[in-house]
Amino acid sequence: SRNVSRDTSGVATVAGVPVTQLAEAYGTPLFVVDERHVRETATEIREAFDSAFERIGTTAKVYYAGKAFLCTEVARWAVDAGLGVDVCSGGELAVALAADVPPAKIGLHGNNKSLAEIHQAVEAGIGSIVIDSLIEIDRVAAAAEQQGAIQSVRLRVNSGVHAHTHSFLATSHEDQKFGLPLEAAAEAVARIRSHSSLNFLGLHCHIGSQIFAPEGFAESAARLLGIHRDLLADGPVPELNLGGGFGIAYVESDEPPVVADLANQIADIVRDTAAELGIPLPTVAFEPGRAVIGGSTLTLYTVGTIKPVALSEGGVRTYVSVDGGMSDNARPALYEADYSVGLASRTSDAEPMLIRLAGKHCESGDIVVYNDYLPSDIAADDLVVVPATGAYCWSLSSNYNYLGRPPVVAVKDGKSRLIVRGEGLAELLSRDCGIDQPAQPARP
């Protein structure tokens, strides 16, 4: 992993901080975020899109998709790097506002925003609300009217393009909950425009996540621009939002595209399609989450038990179990996602051994790394690291089996600091009404 080096005693270090020191200070499991990595990656992505779209004669906007991992610290890093923040609930919005993200740089998503969330967003004066259904048009319009505001909105549509890593599929009808079909866009936009409390910014679509190939974005952009052109007949359409989804490397064999290449390829298609259609170039917005944060973070675990298991097809698989698992990384269990693992508290000359890194949960699907190698002298109390856990790990974490969520620490220049507290047992037990509790303040 790009984040890990070794000190002279063979202990892995992240941004100059030995993992043994981190484990000692914060315990394990622990999420360790390399602050400089996040800041540099966010800047790199923003600059890549800025220059690609400047080259074709328009501008780009980049929002960090907070669903990947959001806390005030990371929101500030995103803003420092020139990104806005994309949120998809009132909770994520509250974090962005608490981080002092300028409201104009916040976008709100969601296929089922509550009225309270809509009011919260309008009241905060956020830059855009992404309308996801016809019923929401009137809800947002009413909230804006009630508050004497004019709310800018986008309309989420389905381009029919589904992309995943190397391939994409283009269909005309979609059986899923997000957005409206492309054919419904004209009527929906007319309805948006009929409300004087709404300001229409443009279309939005998101075609998937962990995408390596540019073709899906290109196809989607081309389809959207066709409708975008039709919408220009009845009013301005200043922007086009192509969502997020840029893939990252999880294991060594993954070769994600260079973001500048991807940005240039998408920009070229936008330019060519707009030229063919004879329309002015819109501002083009993007919402990467994983690509900003995913590679910056690793999870530090302590090894507990080691168990060789004879396989019916012959051979042995050694289960190495750690002190976390699907509660801090649900992605292998949910998506068969691949990760890798490395011994971090020491080096070893022992032969590599095929292992499966398992968690401690009561479920056989509780696996962190399906197949990788660790030195055959791997032992209890060794520290191991699993890289690339920055996106959709903490944010999908749970208290399954009454495990507390791990803390998150940021490391930089040889120093570490806590950015999200972990949950202790007292905190978990405090929710149980049958356990005598110290006096709690009443809920508002």
Interface contacts to ligand LLP, rule CB under 6 A:
65, 67-68, 109, 206, 209-210, 243-246, 287-291, 331, 335, 391-392
Cβ nearer to ligand LLP, comparing 162 with 412:
162
Query: What are the strands of the beta sheet with 12-14, ordered from one edge?
Result: 4-6, 12-14, 17-18
Please give the Cα distance from 206 to 158 (Å, whole number): 8
Which amino acids are annotated catalytic? 362
Give the 3-state secondary structure of residue 87.
Answer: strand
Cβ nearer to ligand LLP, comparing 156 with 361:
156
Cβ nearer to ligand LLP, comparing 61 with 206:
206
Beta-carbon contacts of 68 under 8 Å, excluding residues fewer than 6 positions away, are 289, 290, 292, 293, 294, 390, 391, 392, 395
* Listed residue (126, 134, 204) closest to 118, CA to CA: 126
- What is the closest distance, in whole angstroms, from the C-beta atom of residue 128 to ligand LLP in the complex? 12
Determine how many CB atoms are found less than 10 A away from the CB of residue 261.
12
- What is the closest distance, in whole angstroms, from the C-beta atom of residue 346 to ligand LLP in the complex? 31
Cβ nearer to ligand LLP, comparing 188 with 248:
248
Q: Would you list which residues are annotated within the binding site for substrate?
A: 290, 331, 335, 363, 392
Q: Angle 115-124/134-146 helices, nearest 10 degrees?
A: 50
Cβ nearer to ligand LLP, comparing 331 with 356:
331
- What is the closest distance, in whole angstroms, from the C-beta atom of residue 38 to ligand LLP in the complex? 14
Residue ranges of the alpha helices (H) in 356-418? Answer: none
Q: Angle 134-146/185-193 helices, nearest 10 degrees?
A: 10
Q: Are 339 and 368 in contact (CB under 8 A)?
A: yes
Q: Are 68 and 53 in contact (CB under 8 A)?
A: no
Q: Are 16 and 3 in contact (CB under 8 A)?
A: no
Residue 369 backbone dihedrals phi, psi, to 5 degrees: -135, 120
- What is the closest distance, in whole angstroms, from the C-beta atom of residue 383 to ligand LLP in the complex? 25
- What is the closest distance, in whole angstroms, from the C-beta atom of residue 109 to ligand LLP in the complex? 5
β-pairing, 352-358 vs 297-310, is: unpaired
Cβ nearer to ligand LLP, comparing 228 with 412:
228
- What is the closest distance, in whole angstroms, from the C-beta atom of residue 390 to ligand LLP in the complex? 10
- What is the closest distance, in whole angstroms, from the C-beta atom of residue 438 to ligand LLP in the complex? 36
The tally of CA atoms less than 13 A away on the side-chain side of residue 308 is: 10
Cβ nearer to ligand LLP, comparing 294 with 406:
294
Determine how many CB atoms are found less than 10 A away from the CB of residue 276.
12
- What is the closest distance, in whole angstroms, from the C-beta atom of residue 311 to ligand LLP in the complex? 29
Q: Are 385 and 342 in contact (CB under 8 A)?
A: yes
Determine how many CB atoms are found less than 10 A away from the CB of residue 336.
10
* Listed residue (104, 127, 148) closest to 201, CA to CA: 127
The tally of CA atoms less than 13 A away on the side-chain side of residue 235 is: 13
Please give the Cα distance from 18 to 319 (Å, whole number): 26
Cβ nearer to ligand LLP, comparing 232 with 251:
251
Give the 3-state secondary structure of residue 344.
Answer: coil
Torsion of CA 72, 74, 80, 82, to 10 degrees: -110
Q: Would you list which residues are annotated within the binding site?
A: 245, 287-290, 331, 335, 363, 392
Q: Would you list which residues are annotated within the binding site for pyridoxal 5'-phosphate?
A: 245, 287-290, 392
